[in-house]
Amino acid sequence: MADAGEAAATDGAEGLAAVCAHLEEIRADLRSGPGGDEGPVERVLAAARDGGDVAGTLAVLHAVLQAGGDPQGLHGYADHPRAVRGLRPAGISTTRTEPVYVCPAGRCARYWWPRPAVPVPHCEISSTLLRRERLY
């Protein structure tokens, strides 16, 4: 069973991934919200760039989004639901490798599956391309 620190790190990684993948949409939602500014998401980005703990700034961003009328807050931007790790669906080979692109710094849980004729996205925090990895 994971302790509270591990759970917070996972939530921080997933929250940071949601911010990275949906930054412009979050900015637009914040501008149209009651505060009218992008301050909360900019503080998340600054904490991530400085290598600091982003958990507190993500919690504030989540609360601001909820106060703006989005009951899901930051969770509504997640690209994938929380899944049970370690299970393999029938028919998925364990010997074949699959490419996937991930956070270049390993700070967040963002991932992107390659698609033909679609360029690899950039990390919104470091402005570098996502890093290619292989799933086994």
- 101-105 — which CB contacts under 8 Å span 24+ positions? 101/129, 101/130, 101/131, 101/132, 101/133, 102/130, 102/131, 102/133, 103/17, 103/20, 103/130, 103/131, 104/128, 104/129, 104/130, 104/131
Report the alpha-carbon distance of residue 60 to residue 107 in Å, rounded: 19
- Could you tell me what percent of the chain has a pLDDT over 70? 78
| pLDDT tens by residue, 66-116 | 888 888 888 888 765 443 334 445 555 544 568 899 999 888 888 899 998
Where in the sequence is the domain holding 31, given as residue range(s)?
4-77
Q: How many CB atoms lie within 10 A of CB 96?
A: 9
Residue 10 has pLDDT above 50, yes or no: no
pTM tops 0.75 = no
Residue 50 located in a structural domain: yes
Residue 44 located in a structural domain: yes
Residue 105 located in a structural domain: no
Predicted local distance difference test score (pLDDT) of residue 136: 63
